[in-house]
């Protein structure tokens, strides 16, 4: 598929302008984005492209897993290896799956051992907001932020006491339930959630063998406790266990065999922060510490990773004339350990650690319609060369046009991980201590238009990745190396929201991407993505319907039997949910996944899920 990005940008832009200038703008309450800068800022001041998914939209569309909710985000591709609980990778703007930074309630949530976030076990229960900021953001947030940053929040937003309960059952012998309680009074907040999900799944190998099931249990809690008029303590904690069955290639022919294999993962994390400000609001500070521990058992092999982050930041806010300024300084330490044990005397048994320290600055200036941001970060690394990341951006709100222009240039960093540095299978793969961090430099230009019935936006982006880490199979044993050539990524993102009537709301997106390494398209990066969501609620608010259509274009993958490239066909997933209120506090619902019963593959050799239906009961007090 060949296309010209300039023409793709001009045509939709002209269509958008024809639509939006015929309407008058409506004043809407402005949203605050937590990861928009080192301190939360309004959407109007953000100089990067961001997508926000709120709790109401999550519940209305009925996505059980976070990864499915993210399918509506422009330039975000999801690849799941089979049924629920299978390895799930998310790529943003053509990045690798481990080049996307994920936070949960302020905690860096990737597994230190594998270097990636576990989307396979991330369910949507209890989530009140998801923020996705695309593009290189390492100057703000450090390593992994090449494709972008995903921020998952569970903090309640409404005042008062709440109790929410949900129970569900359906296809594939699936059962789930959750309970969420919260109490909010002014700045004091406390909340707790417990949930569980179990499904028998289906045979991922497609050989009509034994079913590959999944079950997950999680508990999380949060507390915001004002200490006095100016200081607040915040505590977050989460623990979960996930067990997923899978099939493996036991005869090494590149095809899955029916095996009774299971992956057992325990994940625990916690964060404590103290936040304060001066009486006049001219000085803001935060000190924080977080910890994460992950243990994964597969067969006789146990891998464990831990991460501790400690740091602090302080911001000075002042005004000069009509310009408001904020300058933030950051000091951070990041300490990780990795351990693998496969039985007494196993060659892959080892224990390693990696430490890094960072100093960063973030400056934001706002003068009426114009916002300018500048960020810089330097990281001191124990095991490889120090890294630097810079970012600059601007946003200009054109009030007379009801539009916003934004532009930015930034750098992203991805540090070498445990496998690349130390190896894992000594007889077949050894580590390379001379690796350098991957670096990406990206640019974006965008226009966001508001009008009486909704919004529309268009964004053009381009990026170049250097020092990409790959596995060199040309030597024995194989090892990791940095590429000498660059990977290029460029694309166009279109998105919009429209209040069609007082009871019907629609949102959608389209993305066009070219991601190449040495002029060869990279695997599992579809050139075209599209998503449409339509929501209806009757005047009495007793009935609610939603329809979600997610399209994934054709994409390249690798046949690991012949090590030849293959093309995975395009597919479209249709989901819907209907709910009916029963009294003041209860509702019943029916939801469906893959209603078109599409036969597709997101990863070569892994069977897909067919049509599935689920029914549930929800209560809120």
Query: Alpha-carbon distance 522 to 241, whole Å?
Result: 33
Query: Alpha-carbon distance 416 to 436, whole Å?
Result: 7
Plot region of 348 (φ>0 → left; ψ -120 to 50 → alpha; else → beta): alpha
Quick check: bond before 63 cis, omega within 30? no
Structure tokens at 439: 């670096």
Is the predicted pLDDT of residue 125 greater than 50, yes or no? yes
Query: Alpha-carbon distance 249 to 574, whole Å?
Result: 31
What is the pLDDT confidence band of residue 587, given thresholds at 50, 70 and 90? very high
For residues 429 and 423, the answer to whether their CB atoms sit within 8 Å is yes
- CA-closest candidate to residue 457, choices 409, 510, 505: 510
Structure tokens at 96: 């690798």
Number of domains in the chain: 1
pLDDT value, residue 16? 38
Backbone angles phi, psi at 17, to 5 degrees: -65, -40
Would you tell me how many other CB atoms lie within 10 Å of the CB of residue 557? 17
For residues 261 and 248, the answer to whether their CB atoms sit within 8 Å is yes
Helix H, strand E, coil C: the string for 251-314 is CCCCCCEEEEEEEEEEEEEEEEEEEEECCCCCEEEEEEEEEEEEEEEECCEEEEEEEEEEEEEE
pLDDT value, residue 27? 41
Domain assignment of residue 271, given as a range:
5-620
End-to-end CA distance of the chain: 52
Q: Which residues pair with 615 in a beta bridge?
A: 169, 590
What is the pLDDT confidence band of residue 1, given thresholds at 50, 70 and 90? very low
Residue with the bigger pLDDT between 68 and 345: it is 68
The per-residue pLDDT for range 392-441, each reduced to its tens digit, is: 999 999 999 999 999 999 999 999 988 899 887 777 888 899 999 999 99
The share of the chain scoring above pLDDT 70, in percent, equals: 95
CATH number, domain of 252, equals 2.40.170.20
Q: Distance of alpha carbon 397 from its chain centroid, rounded?
A: 27
Is the predicted pLDDT of residue 138 greater than 60, yes or no? yes
Burial code (b: 16+ CB inside 10 Å, e: under 16) for 350-386 equals beeebebbbebbbbbbbeeeebbbbbbbebebeebee
The angle formed by the CA atoms of residues 93, 593 and 614, to the nearest 5 degrees, is: 140
**pTM for this structure?**
0.93
Would you tell me how many other CB atoms lie within 10 Å of the CB of residue 585? 12
For residues 612 and 170, the answer to whether their CB atoms sit within 8 Å is yes
Query: Alpha-carbon distance 141 to 139, whole Å?
Result: 6
26-30, 119-123, 376-380, 458-462, range with the lowest pLDDT: 26-30
For residues 325 and 317, the answer to whether their CB atoms sit within 8 Å is yes
Structure tokens at 233: 């303590």
pLDDT value, residue 29? 62
pLDDT value, residue 20? 36
Can you say whether the dihedral through the CA atoms of 430, 435, 437, 440 is positive or negative?
negative
Query: Alpha-carbon distance 133 to 140, whole Å?
Result: 12
If you average pLDDT over every residue of the chain, what do you get? 91
Angstrom CA distances, 139 to 125, 171, 281, 371, 461, stand at 31, 45, 25, 18, 18
Residue with the bigger pLDDT between 481 and 205: it is 481
pLDDT value, residue 5? 36
The per-residue pLDDT for range 500-554, each reduced to its tens digit, is: 999 999 999 999 999 999 889 999 999 999 999 999 999 888 999 999 999 999 9
Tell me if residue 97 falls in helix, strand or coil.
Answer: helix
Burial code (b: 16+ CB inside 10 Å, e: under 16) for 163-188 equals ebbbebebbbebebbbbbbbebeeee
Section 268-294 average pLDDT: 93
The per-residue pLDDT for range 298-335, each reduced to its tens digit, is: 988 899 999 999 999 999 999 999 999 999 999 999 99
């Amino acid at each position: 598929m060949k296309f010209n990005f300039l023409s793709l940008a001009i045509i939709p832009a002209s269509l958008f302008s024809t639509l939006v200038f015929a309407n008058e703008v409506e004043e809407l309450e402005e949203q605050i984005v937590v990861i928009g800068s080192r301190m939360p800022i309004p959407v109007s001041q953000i100089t990067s492209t961001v997508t926000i998914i709120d709790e109401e939209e999550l519940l209305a569309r009925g996505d059980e897993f976070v990864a499915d909710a993210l399918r509506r985000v422009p330039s975000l591709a999801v690849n799941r290896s089979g049924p629920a609980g299978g390895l799930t990778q998310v790529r943003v703007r053509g990045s690798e799956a481990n080049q996307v930074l994920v936070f949960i309630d302020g905690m860096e949530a990737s597994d230190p051992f594998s270097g990636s976030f576990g989307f396979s076990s991330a369910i949507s229960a209890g989530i009140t907001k998801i923020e996705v900021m695309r593009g290189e953001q390492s100057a703000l947030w450090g390593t992994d932020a090449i494709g972008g940053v995903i921020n998952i929040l569970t903090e309640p937003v409404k005042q008062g006491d709440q109790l929410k309960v949900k129970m569900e059952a359906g296809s594939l012998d699936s059962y789930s339930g959750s309970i969420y309680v919260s109490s909010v009074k002014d700045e004091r907040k406390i909340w707790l959630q417990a949930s569980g999900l179990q499904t028998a799944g289906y045979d991922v190998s497609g050989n009509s063998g034994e079913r590959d099931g999944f079950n997950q249990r999680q508990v999380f809690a949060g507390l915001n406790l004002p200490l006095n008029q100016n200081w607040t303590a915040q505590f977050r904690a989460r623990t979960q266990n996930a067990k997923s069955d899978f099939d493996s290639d036991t005869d090494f022919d590149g095809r899955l065999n029916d095996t009774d294999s299971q992956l057992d993962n325990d994940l625990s994390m916690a964060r404590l922060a103290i936040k304060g400000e001066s009486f006049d609001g001219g000085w803001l500070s935060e000190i924080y510490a977080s910890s994460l521990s992950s243990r994964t058992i597969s067969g006789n092999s146990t891998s464990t990773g831990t991460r501790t982050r400690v740091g602090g930041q302080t911001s000075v806010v002042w005004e000069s004339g009509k310009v408001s300024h904020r300058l933030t300084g950051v000091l951070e330490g990041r300490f990780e350990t990795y351990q693998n044990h496969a039985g007494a005397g196993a060659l892959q048994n080892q224990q390693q650690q990696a430490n890094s320290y960072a100093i960063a600055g973030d400056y934001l200036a706002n003068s009426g319609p114009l916002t300018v941001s500048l960020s810089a970060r330097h990281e001191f690394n124990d095991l490889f060369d120090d890294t630097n990341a810079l970012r600059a951006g601007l946003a200009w709100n054109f009030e007379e046009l009801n539009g916003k222009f934004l532009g930015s240039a930034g750098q992203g960093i991805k540090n070498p991980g445990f496998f690349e540095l130390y190896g894992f299978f000594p007889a077949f793969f050894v580590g390379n201590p001379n690796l350098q961090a991957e670096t990406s430099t990206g640019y974006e230009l965008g226009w966001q238009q508001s009008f009486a019935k909704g919004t529309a936006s268009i964004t053009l982006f381009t990026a170049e990745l250097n020092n990409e880490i790959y596995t060199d199979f040309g030597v024995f044993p194989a090892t990791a190396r940095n590429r000498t050539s660059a990977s290029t990524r460029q694309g166009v993102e279109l998105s919009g929201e429209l209040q069609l009537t007082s009871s019907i709301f629609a949102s959608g997106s389209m993305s066009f991407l070219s991601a190449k390494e040495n002029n060869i398209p990279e695997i599992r990066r579809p050139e075209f993505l599209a998503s449409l969501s339509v929501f209806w609620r009757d005047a009495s608010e007793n009935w609610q319907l939603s329809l979600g259509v997610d399209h994934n274009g054709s994409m390249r993958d690798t046949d690991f039997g012949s090590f030849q490239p293959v093309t995975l066909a395009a597919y479209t997933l249709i989901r819907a949910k209907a709910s009916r209120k029963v009294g003041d506090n209860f509702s019943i619902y029916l939801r469906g996944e893959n209603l078109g019963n599409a036969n597709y593959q997101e990863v070569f050799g892994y069977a897909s899920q067919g049509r599935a239906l689920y029914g549930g009961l929800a209560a809120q007090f």
